[in-house]
Amino acid sequence: MASVKFAVIDVNDFLSKKQSSEPELAADWAKLEELYNKKLWHQLTLKVQDMVLLPSLQKNDNLIQLYNNFLTTFENKINPLSLVEIVVHVINQYTNKKDAVAFLEKVEAKVKMNDEALALCKVLQGQIYLEHLNDLDATEKIIEDLEGSLEDADGVTPVHGRFYKLASEYYRVRGPMGRYYRAALRYVGCAGGGAALEPTERRACALRLALAAVLAPDVYELGELLAHPILESLEGTPDAWACELVKAVASGDVVAFEKIRAQAPHQELHQADRQLRQKIAILCLMEMAFNRTSSQRKLTFAEIAREARVPHDEVELLVMKALAEKLIRGHIDQVSQTVHVSWVRARALGRSGAGALAKRLDIWCAAASGAADLLANATPDILTL
Protein backbone atom coordinates (compact mmCIF):
# COMPACT_ATOMS: atom_id res chain seq x y z
CA MET A 1 0.00 0.00 0.00
CA ALA A 2 1.34 3.41 -0.95
CA SER A 3 2.40 5.58 1.99
CA VAL A 4 0.83 8.99 2.53
CA LYS A 5 3.28 11.86 2.81
CA PHE A 6 2.49 14.95 4.81
CA ALA A 7 4.09 18.29 4.14
CA VAL A 8 6.44 19.33 6.93
CA ILE A 9 6.17 22.96 7.96
CA ASP A 10 9.45 24.68 8.75
CA VAL A 11 8.29 27.46 11.05
CA ASN A 12 11.69 29.05 11.56
CA ASP A 13 12.30 29.17 7.81
CA PHE A 14 8.90 30.83 7.27
CA LEU A 15 9.53 33.43 9.98
CA SER A 16 13.08 34.12 8.76
CA LYS A 17 11.83 34.80 5.25
CA LYS A 18 9.18 37.13 6.64
CA GLN A 19 11.81 39.08 8.56
CA SER A 20 13.90 39.61 5.45
CA SER A 21 11.01 40.31 3.06
CA GLU A 22 9.11 42.64 5.39
CA PRO A 23 11.76 44.78 7.15
CA GLU A 24 9.12 47.15 8.58
CA LEU A 25 7.72 44.18 10.57
CA ALA A 26 11.03 42.43 11.21
CA ALA A 27 10.86 43.07 14.96
CA ASP A 28 7.35 41.60 15.12
CA TRP A 29 8.30 38.48 13.19
CA ALA A 30 11.39 38.06 15.37
CA LYS A 31 9.23 38.30 18.49
CA LEU A 32 6.94 35.60 17.13
CA GLU A 33 9.94 33.36 16.52
CA GLU A 34 11.28 33.97 20.02
CA LEU A 35 7.95 33.18 21.73
CA TYR A 36 7.45 30.13 19.52
CA ASN A 37 10.86 28.67 20.30
CA LYS A 38 10.32 29.28 24.04
CA LYS A 39 6.86 27.66 23.78
CA LEU A 40 5.21 30.61 25.48
CA TRP A 41 1.83 29.83 23.95
CA HIS A 42 -0.26 32.41 25.81
CA GLN A 43 2.07 35.31 25.03
CA LEU A 44 2.37 34.05 21.47
CA THR A 45 -1.42 34.03 21.09
CA LEU A 46 -1.64 37.63 22.31
CA LYS A 47 1.08 38.70 19.86
CA VAL A 48 -0.69 36.98 16.94
CA GLN A 49 -3.98 38.66 17.91
CA ASP A 50 -2.23 42.02 17.67
CA MET A 51 -0.53 41.22 14.37
CA VAL A 52 -3.67 40.10 12.50
CA LEU A 53 -4.94 43.67 12.95
CA LEU A 54 -2.00 45.22 11.11
CA PRO A 55 -3.12 46.79 7.79
CA SER A 56 -0.13 45.35 5.89
CA LEU A 57 -1.12 41.79 6.89
CA GLN A 58 -4.76 42.30 6.04
CA LYS A 59 -3.90 42.52 2.35
CA ASN A 60 -3.87 39.73 -0.24
CA ASP A 61 -3.56 36.30 1.42
CA ASN A 62 -1.02 37.19 4.11
CA LEU A 63 -3.16 35.94 6.98
CA ILE A 64 -3.99 32.69 5.18
CA GLN A 65 -0.24 32.10 4.80
CA LEU A 66 0.29 32.95 8.45
CA TYR A 67 -2.30 30.40 9.48
CA ASN A 68 -1.14 27.62 7.16
CA ASN A 69 2.59 28.05 7.76
CA PHE A 70 2.62 29.01 11.41
CA LEU A 71 -0.59 28.74 13.43
CA THR A 72 -1.34 25.17 12.36
CA THR A 73 1.79 24.00 14.20
CA PHE A 74 0.49 25.08 17.61
CA GLU A 75 -3.25 25.73 17.17
CA ASN A 76 -4.01 23.02 19.71
CA LYS A 77 -2.11 25.10 22.29
CA ILE A 78 -4.31 28.19 21.72
CA ASN A 79 -7.47 28.87 23.69
CA PRO A 80 -10.26 27.71 21.31
CA LEU A 81 -12.20 30.98 21.45
CA SER A 82 -8.99 32.98 20.87
CA LEU A 83 -8.22 30.77 17.88
CA VAL A 84 -11.60 31.49 16.30
CA GLU A 85 -11.20 35.22 17.02
CA ILE A 86 -8.00 35.07 14.95
CA VAL A 87 -9.81 33.07 12.26
CA VAL A 88 -12.37 35.92 12.00
CA HIS A 89 -9.68 37.95 10.20
CA VAL A 90 -8.26 35.03 8.20
CA ILE A 91 -11.54 34.16 6.43
CA ASN A 92 -11.84 37.70 5.05
CA GLN A 93 -8.94 36.93 2.69
CA TYR A 94 -10.66 34.02 0.96
CA THR A 95 -11.89 35.28 -2.39
CA ASN A 96 -13.89 32.08 -2.90
CA LYS A 97 -16.33 32.17 -0.01
CA LYS A 98 -17.13 28.47 -0.33
CA ASP A 99 -13.48 27.84 0.51
CA ALA A 100 -13.93 30.06 3.56
CA VAL A 101 -16.86 27.91 4.72
CA ALA A 102 -14.82 24.74 4.18
CA PHE A 103 -11.96 26.26 6.19
CA LEU A 104 -14.36 27.14 9.03
CA GLU A 105 -15.74 23.61 9.05
CA LYS A 106 -12.20 22.29 9.63
CA VAL A 107 -11.65 24.79 12.43
CA GLU A 108 -15.04 23.83 13.89
CA ALA A 109 -13.89 20.23 14.26
CA LYS A 110 -10.82 21.43 16.20
CA VAL A 111 -12.74 23.60 18.70
CA LYS A 112 -15.90 21.51 19.13
CA MET A 113 -15.17 20.86 22.81
CA ASN A 114 -15.57 24.57 23.58
CA ASP A 115 -19.20 25.74 23.29
CA GLU A 116 -18.42 29.44 22.72
CA ALA A 117 -15.76 28.77 20.09
CA LEU A 118 -18.03 26.29 18.30
CA ALA A 119 -20.92 28.77 18.33
CA LEU A 120 -18.72 31.56 16.95
CA CYS A 121 -17.52 29.25 14.17
CA LYS A 122 -21.11 28.57 13.15
CA VAL A 123 -22.04 32.27 13.32
CA LEU A 124 -19.14 33.10 10.97
CA GLN A 125 -20.40 30.46 8.55
CA GLY A 126 -23.88 31.95 8.78
CA GLN A 127 -22.57 35.41 7.93
CA ILE A 128 -20.90 34.05 4.80
CA TYR A 129 -24.02 32.15 3.76
CA LEU A 130 -26.14 35.26 4.23
CA GLU A 131 -23.88 38.05 2.95
CA HIS A 132 -21.92 36.34 0.18
CA LEU A 133 -23.61 33.09 -0.90
CA ASN A 134 -27.24 34.23 -0.46
CA ASP A 135 -28.08 30.84 1.06
CA LEU A 136 -30.94 31.76 3.38
CA ASP A 137 -31.84 28.15 4.20
CA ALA A 138 -28.32 27.38 5.45
CA THR A 139 -28.36 30.60 7.49
CA GLU A 140 -31.72 29.70 9.02
CA LYS A 141 -30.47 26.26 10.06
CA ILE A 142 -27.47 27.79 11.86
CA ILE A 143 -29.71 30.28 13.69
CA GLU A 144 -32.11 27.52 14.75
CA ASP A 145 -29.23 25.33 15.94
CA LEU A 146 -27.68 28.08 18.06
CA GLU A 147 -30.68 29.99 19.36
CA GLY A 148 -31.60 27.65 22.20
CA SER A 149 -28.06 27.03 23.46
CA LEU A 150 -27.14 30.72 23.52
CA GLU A 151 -30.34 31.72 25.31
CA ASP A 152 -29.64 29.06 27.97
CA ALA A 153 -26.05 30.26 28.46
CA ASP A 154 -25.11 31.90 31.75
CA GLY A 155 -24.77 35.63 31.14
CA VAL A 156 -23.84 37.32 27.88
CA THR A 157 -20.84 35.84 26.09
CA PRO A 158 -18.75 37.51 23.36
CA VAL A 159 -20.64 35.36 20.85
CA HIS A 160 -24.11 36.70 21.69
CA GLY A 161 -23.69 40.05 19.95
CA ARG A 162 -22.47 38.43 16.73
CA PHE A 163 -25.28 35.87 16.82
CA TYR A 164 -28.03 38.44 17.32
CA LYS A 165 -26.55 40.58 14.55
CA LEU A 166 -26.68 37.58 12.21
CA ALA A 167 -30.23 36.72 13.30
CA SER A 168 -31.47 40.31 12.89
CA GLU A 169 -29.96 40.60 9.41
CA TYR A 170 -31.51 37.28 8.40
CA TYR A 171 -34.98 38.14 9.74
CA ARG A 172 -34.73 41.56 8.15
CA VAL A 173 -34.44 39.86 4.76
CA ARG A 174 -36.83 36.95 5.24
CA GLY A 175 -39.03 37.98 8.17
CA PRO A 176 -41.11 37.77 10.22
CA MET A 177 -40.74 41.37 11.36
CA GLY A 178 -41.42 40.53 15.01
CA ARG A 179 -38.39 38.25 15.12
CA TYR A 180 -36.27 40.91 13.46
CA TYR A 181 -37.35 43.41 16.12
CA ARG A 182 -36.49 41.12 19.02
CA ALA A 183 -33.15 40.00 17.57
CA ALA A 184 -32.13 43.57 16.66
CA LEU A 185 -33.06 44.84 20.13
CA ARG A 186 -30.88 42.16 21.69
CA TYR A 187 -28.06 42.96 19.28
CA VAL A 188 -27.94 46.65 20.20
CA GLY A 189 -28.15 45.60 23.84
CA CYS A 190 -25.01 43.48 23.39
CA ALA A 191 -23.40 46.44 21.56
CA GLY A 192 -23.55 48.61 24.68
CA GLY A 193 -26.97 50.03 23.94
CA GLY A 194 -25.79 50.83 20.43
CA ALA A 195 -22.89 52.97 21.68
CA ALA A 196 -20.39 50.64 20.00
CA LEU A 197 -21.97 51.23 16.58
CA GLU A 198 -20.87 53.89 14.13
CA PRO A 199 -23.18 56.96 14.28
CA THR A 200 -24.62 56.34 10.80
CA GLU A 201 -25.25 52.65 11.52
CA ARG A 202 -26.69 53.50 14.93
CA ARG A 203 -29.20 55.94 13.45
CA ALA A 204 -30.21 53.51 10.69
CA CYS A 205 -30.64 50.72 13.23
CA ALA A 206 -32.76 52.98 15.46
CA LEU A 207 -35.06 53.85 12.55
CA ARG A 208 -35.45 50.21 11.51
CA LEU A 209 -36.22 49.23 15.11
CA ALA A 210 -38.84 51.97 15.43
CA LEU A 211 -40.60 50.91 12.21
CA ALA A 212 -40.44 47.23 13.16
CA ALA A 213 -41.89 47.93 16.61
CA VAL A 214 -44.83 49.72 15.01
CA LEU A 215 -45.42 47.41 12.03
CA ALA A 216 -44.78 43.95 13.54
CA PRO A 217 -48.26 42.49 14.18
CA ASP A 218 -47.14 40.47 17.22
CA VAL A 219 -45.15 43.18 19.02
CA TYR A 220 -47.19 44.93 21.70
CA GLU A 221 -44.32 45.64 24.09
CA LEU A 222 -42.84 48.95 22.94
CA GLY A 223 -41.82 50.28 26.35
CA GLU A 224 -38.42 48.58 26.21
CA LEU A 225 -37.56 50.35 22.97
CA LEU A 226 -38.82 53.70 24.28
CA ALA A 227 -36.47 53.37 27.26
CA HIS A 228 -33.54 52.33 25.05
CA PRO A 229 -30.77 54.90 24.49
CA ILE A 230 -30.50 54.03 20.80
CA LEU A 231 -33.57 56.15 20.05
CA GLU A 232 -31.60 59.21 21.16
CA SER A 233 -29.64 58.96 17.90
CA LEU A 234 -32.79 60.06 16.04
CA GLU A 235 -33.28 63.24 18.04
CA GLY A 236 -32.59 66.40 16.06
CA THR A 237 -32.53 64.50 12.74
CA PRO A 238 -35.07 64.27 9.89
CA ASP A 239 -36.06 60.87 11.36
CA ALA A 240 -37.04 62.25 14.77
CA TRP A 241 -40.70 61.59 13.87
CA ALA A 242 -40.04 57.86 14.36
CA CYS A 243 -39.61 58.34 18.12
CA GLU A 244 -42.92 60.17 18.37
CA LEU A 245 -44.55 57.46 16.27
CA VAL A 246 -43.43 54.74 18.69
CA LYS A 247 -44.72 56.79 21.64
CA ALA A 248 -48.11 57.28 19.97
CA VAL A 249 -48.51 53.58 19.13
CA ALA A 250 -47.31 52.44 22.58
CA SER A 251 -50.01 54.53 24.27
CA GLY A 252 -52.69 53.66 21.71
CA ASP A 253 -53.07 57.32 20.74
CA VAL A 254 -54.83 57.02 17.37
CA VAL A 255 -55.06 60.79 16.78
CA ALA A 256 -51.34 61.36 17.37
CA PHE A 257 -50.50 58.33 15.22
CA GLU A 258 -52.51 59.58 12.24
CA LYS A 259 -50.94 63.02 12.52
CA ILE A 260 -47.40 61.62 12.51
CA ARG A 261 -48.11 59.04 9.81
CA ALA A 262 -49.39 61.75 7.46
CA GLN A 263 -45.92 63.31 7.51
CA ALA A 264 -43.89 60.07 7.51
CA PRO A 265 -42.08 59.20 4.25
CA HIS A 266 -42.31 55.41 4.62
CA GLN A 267 -44.99 53.73 2.53
CA GLU A 268 -45.10 50.66 4.81
CA LEU A 269 -47.00 52.77 7.34
CA HIS A 270 -49.73 53.42 4.78
CA GLN A 271 -49.85 49.92 3.28
CA ALA A 272 -50.54 48.15 6.60
CA ASP A 273 -53.48 50.40 7.45
CA ARG A 274 -56.06 47.92 8.80
CA GLN A 275 -53.51 45.84 10.69
CA LEU A 276 -51.98 48.95 12.25
CA ARG A 277 -55.32 50.39 13.29
CA GLN A 278 -56.25 47.15 15.04
CA LYS A 279 -52.89 47.01 16.83
CA ILE A 280 -53.18 50.60 18.08
CA ALA A 281 -56.78 49.99 19.16
CA ILE A 282 -55.69 46.96 21.22
CA LEU A 283 -52.90 48.97 22.82
CA CYS A 284 -55.43 51.68 23.60
CA LEU A 285 -57.65 49.07 25.26
CA MET A 286 -54.70 47.83 27.34
CA GLU A 287 -53.87 51.39 28.35
CA MET A 288 -57.48 52.07 29.37
CA ALA A 289 -57.55 48.97 31.59
CA PHE A 290 -54.11 49.61 33.07
CA ASN A 291 -54.94 53.19 34.05
CA ARG A 292 -57.94 52.08 36.10
CA THR A 293 -58.00 50.50 39.52
CA SER A 294 -59.12 46.89 39.85
CA SER A 295 -62.57 48.02 41.01
CA GLN A 296 -63.08 50.27 37.95
CA ARG A 297 -62.07 47.91 35.15
CA LYS A 298 -65.54 47.47 33.74
CA LEU A 299 -65.31 49.15 30.34
CA THR A 300 -68.34 49.80 28.18
CA PHE A 301 -68.34 49.16 24.46
CA ALA A 302 -69.10 52.84 23.95
CA GLU A 303 -66.03 53.92 25.95
CA ILE A 304 -63.77 51.55 24.02
CA ALA A 305 -65.19 52.65 20.66
CA ARG A 306 -64.67 56.30 21.53
CA GLU A 307 -61.12 55.98 22.91
CA ALA A 308 -59.83 53.41 20.38
CA ARG A 309 -61.55 55.09 17.40
CA VAL A 310 -63.23 51.89 16.19
CA PRO A 311 -66.84 51.32 15.08
CA HIS A 312 -69.13 50.22 17.88
CA ASP A 313 -69.93 46.92 16.16
CA GLU A 314 -66.22 46.00 15.99
CA VAL A 315 -65.49 46.42 19.70
CA GLU A 316 -66.34 42.84 20.61
CA LEU A 317 -64.01 41.44 17.93
CA LEU A 318 -61.28 43.77 19.16
CA VAL A 319 -61.62 42.54 22.74
CA MET A 320 -61.69 38.91 21.59
CA LYS A 321 -58.45 39.52 19.68
CA ALA A 322 -56.81 40.98 22.80
CA LEU A 323 -58.00 38.00 24.85
CA ALA A 324 -56.76 35.52 22.23
CA GLU A 325 -53.32 37.17 22.15
CA LYS A 326 -53.27 36.91 25.98
CA LEU A 327 -52.74 40.65 26.28
CA ILE A 328 -55.60 40.91 28.76
CA ARG A 329 -57.76 38.58 30.84
CA GLY A 330 -61.40 39.08 31.59
CA HIS A 331 -64.83 38.44 30.15
CA ILE A 332 -67.36 40.10 27.86
CA ASP A 333 -70.95 40.74 28.87
CA GLN A 334 -72.79 40.93 25.55
CA VAL A 335 -76.12 41.83 27.16
CA SER A 336 -74.87 44.90 28.99
CA GLN A 337 -72.17 45.50 26.36
CA THR A 338 -69.36 45.76 28.87
CA VAL A 339 -65.92 44.23 29.29
CA HIS A 340 -64.49 43.40 32.69
CA VAL A 341 -60.66 43.26 32.58
CA SER A 342 -59.01 41.40 35.46
CA TRP A 343 -55.41 41.45 34.21
CA VAL A 344 -53.21 43.30 31.71
CA ARG A 345 -49.95 41.86 30.40
CA ALA A 346 -46.95 43.40 32.13
CA ARG A 347 -45.06 45.97 30.07
CA ALA A 348 -42.00 48.16 30.50
CA LEU A 349 -43.20 51.47 31.91
CA GLY A 350 -41.90 54.94 31.21
CA ARG A 351 -41.53 57.64 33.86
CA SER A 352 -45.18 58.68 33.69
CA GLY A 353 -46.42 55.09 33.86
CA ALA A 354 -44.14 54.25 36.76
CA GLY A 355 -45.27 57.42 38.55
CA ALA A 356 -48.94 56.53 38.10
CA LEU A 357 -48.28 53.01 39.38
CA ALA A 358 -46.46 54.39 42.43
CA LYS A 359 -49.46 56.60 43.27
CA ARG A 360 -51.80 53.63 43.03
CA LEU A 361 -49.51 51.61 45.31
CA ASP A 362 -49.61 54.47 47.84
CA ILE A 363 -53.42 54.42 47.71
CA TRP A 364 -53.44 50.64 48.14
CA CYS A 365 -51.02 50.85 51.09
CA ALA A 366 -53.22 53.48 52.74
CA ALA A 367 -56.32 51.33 52.22
CA ALA A 368 -54.54 48.25 53.60
CA SER A 369 -53.36 50.24 56.62
CA GLY A 370 -56.89 51.53 57.22
CA ALA A 371 -58.27 47.99 57.04
CA ALA A 372 -55.64 46.81 59.52
CA ASP A 373 -56.52 49.62 61.96
CA LEU A 374 -60.22 48.85 61.62
CA LEU A 375 -59.59 45.18 62.35
CA ALA A 376 -57.37 46.03 65.33
CA ASN A 377 -60.04 48.32 66.80
CA ALA A 378 -62.77 45.76 66.29
CA THR A 379 -60.81 42.86 67.75
CA PRO A 380 -61.83 43.42 71.44
CA ASP A 381 -65.50 43.45 70.49
CA ILE A 382 -65.13 40.29 68.43
CA LEU A 383 -63.30 38.46 71.23
CA THR A 384 -65.99 39.30 73.80
CA LEU A 385 -68.75 37.77 71.70
In the predicted model, what is the mean pLDDT of residues 325-340? Answer: 94
pLDDT tens by residue, 84-103: 999 999 999 999 999 999 99
Burial level of 353, CB count in 10 A (0-12/13-18/19+)? middle
Residue type, 144: E
Tell me what pLDDT residue 1 has.
42
Tell me what pLDDT residue 155 has.
78
- Sign of the alpha-carbon dihedral angle for 232, 238, 239, 242: positive
Note the helical H segments in 296-343: 301-308, 315-324
Spell out the residues 6+ positions from residue 158 whose beta carbon is closer than 8 angstroms to its own: 81, 116, 120
Cα separation, 23 vs 352, whole angstroms: 64
pLDDT tens by residue, 276-316: 999 999 999 999 998 887 777 899 999 999 999 999 999 99
Report the Cα–Cα distance between both ends of the chain, in Å, rounded: 106
Query: Nearest-CA neighbor of 189 among 209, 207, 175, 219?
Result: 209
Task: Count, in order, helices (H) and strands (E) of the chain.
Answer: 19, 3
In the predicted model, what is the mean pLDDT of residues 27-45? Answer: 95
Residue type, 345: R
Main-chain phi, psi angles of 310, to 5 degrees = -125, 155
Cα separation, 385 vs 375, whole angstroms: 15
- Strand 328-333 vs strand 338-344: parallel, antiparallel, or unpaired? antiparallel
What the chain holds in terms of domains, given with CATH numbers, is 277-358 (1.10.10.10)
* Mean per-residue pLDDT over the chain, rounded: 89
